[in-house]
C-alpha cells in the first residue's frame, strides 16, 4: 500500500549518503516512488545526467541544493523529481494546497517545465498550473487556485501573492529558482527577493543556474540554507 511504499522510501532516503554518483547508473537506483519511475520511463528517461546524479543525492535527502551546469545538461528533471517525491512522501500524513513553487525567468521556459512536469508526473495526483500572466489576474487565479505545484515567472507570482488574500503559501515545501542567473540579468532581483521573504522559511530551496555570477551568490545567500553545491563543468557528461 501507499503507507508501506512511503515508509520504504523514507528508509532508503536515509541511505543516500552511502551512495556515490557512480552508483546511480539508472534512475531506479534512487529512492523514487513507483509513480515517478513509471513517469520517467514513459517519457524515455532511464539514465540520469551528471547534474541529475550529483544533485539528486542531496535534494532527495531534502537538503537545499545549488546546481550549476550549462544549458542542456538536464537541470529541469533535477528539480522536478525532488518536488514530486517530497509532495508524494508527505501526502499520507497531512498535506494539501500549494506545495511547490518553481520560478523561471520567461514564459517559454515555464511552458517547457510545465510539459516535462506533466509528462514525468503523469502517474501522480498532483495538479500543476502556470502563473505567467498574459491574461486577466482574476481569470488566471481561477485556473491555478487549487494547484499543488505552480510554475511561474517572478513578477506575476509576486503580483498574485501581494494582491490576492486567498493565496496561501504557508504549506509551500519546495521552492525552485530555475535559471537564477537569467532571472537576475533580466531584472527580477527585487521580485525574487520579495518572494523569498514571503515563503515559509522551513521550505527546501533548490537553485539552478548556468553560470555562477556574484549576483547569483548573493541570491544563494538570501534564499538557501547551508546548500550543497553541485557543479558540472564543460566537457563532462
| Distance from the first to the final alpha carbon of the chain | 37
- Per partner kind, with CB cut-offs from 5 to 8 A, the member of Mg ion, ligand ADP, none near residue 39 is none
Rounded to a whole number of angstroms, the minimum distance from the CB of residue 109 to ligand ADP is 8
Rounded to a whole number of angstroms, the minimum distance from the CB of residue 112 to ligand ADP is 7
- Per partner kind, with CB cut-offs from 5 to 8 A, the member of ligand ADP, Mg ion, none near residue 73 is ligand ADP
DSSP of 48-78, one letter per residue?
A: --HHHHHHHHHHTTT--EEEE--TTS-HHHH
**Of 77 and 83, CB closest to ligand ADP:** 77
Q: Helix (H, G, I), strand (E, B), or coil: what is residue 187? A: coil
Site of grid cell 500572466: 133
Q: Helix (H, G, I), strand (E, B), or coil: what is residue 151? A: strand
**Of 169 and 219, CB closest to ligand ADP:** 219
**Of 53 and 75, CB closest to Mg ion:** 75
**Of 24 and 169, CB closest to ligand ADP:** 24
| Contact track, Mg ion, 74-93, x by CB under 5 A | -x------------------
**Of 53 and 124, CB closest to ligand ADP:** 53
Please check whether residue 205 is in contact with residue 177, taking contact to mean a CB–CB distance below 8 angstroms: yes
**Of 75 and 86, CB closest to Mg ion:** 75
Binding residues vs ligand ADP (CB under 6 A): 45, 47-49, 52, 69, 71-77
Give the integer Cα–Cα distance in Å for 82 and 206: 9
Give the integer Cα–Cα distance in Å for 24 and 22: 5
Rounded to a whole number of angstroms, the minimum distance from the CB of residue 27 to Mg ion is 19
- Per partner kind, with CB cut-offs from 5 to 8 A, the member of ligand ADP, Mg ion, none near residue 77 is ligand ADP
Return the range that interacts with Mg ion (CB under 5 A); candidates 69-77, 87-95, 122-130, 188-196: 69-77
Give the integer Cα–Cα distance in Å for 138 and 164: 9
- Per partner kind, with CB cut-offs from 5 to 8 A, the member of ligand ADP, Mg ion, none near residue 155 is none
- Per partner kind, with CB cut-offs from 5 to 8 A, the member of ligand ADP, Mg ion, none near residue 72 is ligand ADP
CA angle 122, 127, 128 (to 5 degrees): 95
Give the integer Cα–Cα distance in Å for 38 and 217: 36
- Per partner kind, with CB cut-offs from 5 to 8 A, the member of Mg ion, ligand ADP, none near residue 133 is none
Give the integer Cα–Cα distance in Å for 109 and 187: 16
Give the integer Cα–Cα distance in Å for 223 and 206: 9
Which positions touch Mg ion (CB under 5 A)?
A: 75
Amino acid at each position: 500500500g501507499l503507507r508501506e511504499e512511503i515508509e520504504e522510501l523514507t528508509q532508503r532516503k536515509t541511505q543516500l549518503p552511502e551512495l556515490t554518483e557512480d552508483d546511480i547508473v539508472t534512475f531506479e537506483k534512487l529512492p523514487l516512488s513507483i509513480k515517478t519511475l513509471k513517469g520517467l520511463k514513459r517519457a524515455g528517461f532511464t539514465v540520469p545526467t551528471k547534474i541529475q546524479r550529483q544533485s539528486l543525492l542531496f535534494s532527495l535527502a531534502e537538503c537545499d541544493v545549488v546546481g550549476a551546469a550549462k544549458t542542456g545538461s538536464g537541470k529541469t528533471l533535477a528539480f522536478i523529481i525532488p518536488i514530486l517525491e517530497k509532495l508524494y512522501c508527505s501526502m499520507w500524513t497531512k498535506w494539501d494546497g500549494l506545495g511547490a513553487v518553481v520560478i523561471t525567468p520567461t514564459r517559454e521556459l515555464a511552458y517547457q517545465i510545465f510539459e516535462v512536469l506533466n509528462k514525468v508526473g503523469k502517474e501522480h495526483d498532483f495538479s500543476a498550473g502556470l502563473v505567467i500572466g498574459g491574461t486577466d489576474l482574476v481569470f488566471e487565479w481561477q485556473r491555478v487556485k487549487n494547484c499543488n505545484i505552480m510554475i511561474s515567472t517572478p513578477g506575476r507570482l509576486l503580483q498574485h501573492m501581494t494582491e490576492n488574500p486567498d493565496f496561501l503559501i504557508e504549506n509551500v515545501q519546495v521552492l525552485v529558482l530555475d535559471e537564477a542567473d537569467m532571472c537576475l540579468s533580466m531584472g527580477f532581483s527585487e521580485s525574487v527577493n520579495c518572494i523569498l521573504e514571503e515563503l515559509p522559511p522551513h521550505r527546501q530551496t533548490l537553485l539552478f543556474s548556468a553560470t555562477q555570477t556574484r549576483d547569483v551568490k548573493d541570491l544563494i545567500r538570501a534564499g538557501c540554507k547551508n546548500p550543497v553545491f553541485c557543479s558540472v563543468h564543460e566537457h563532462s557528461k
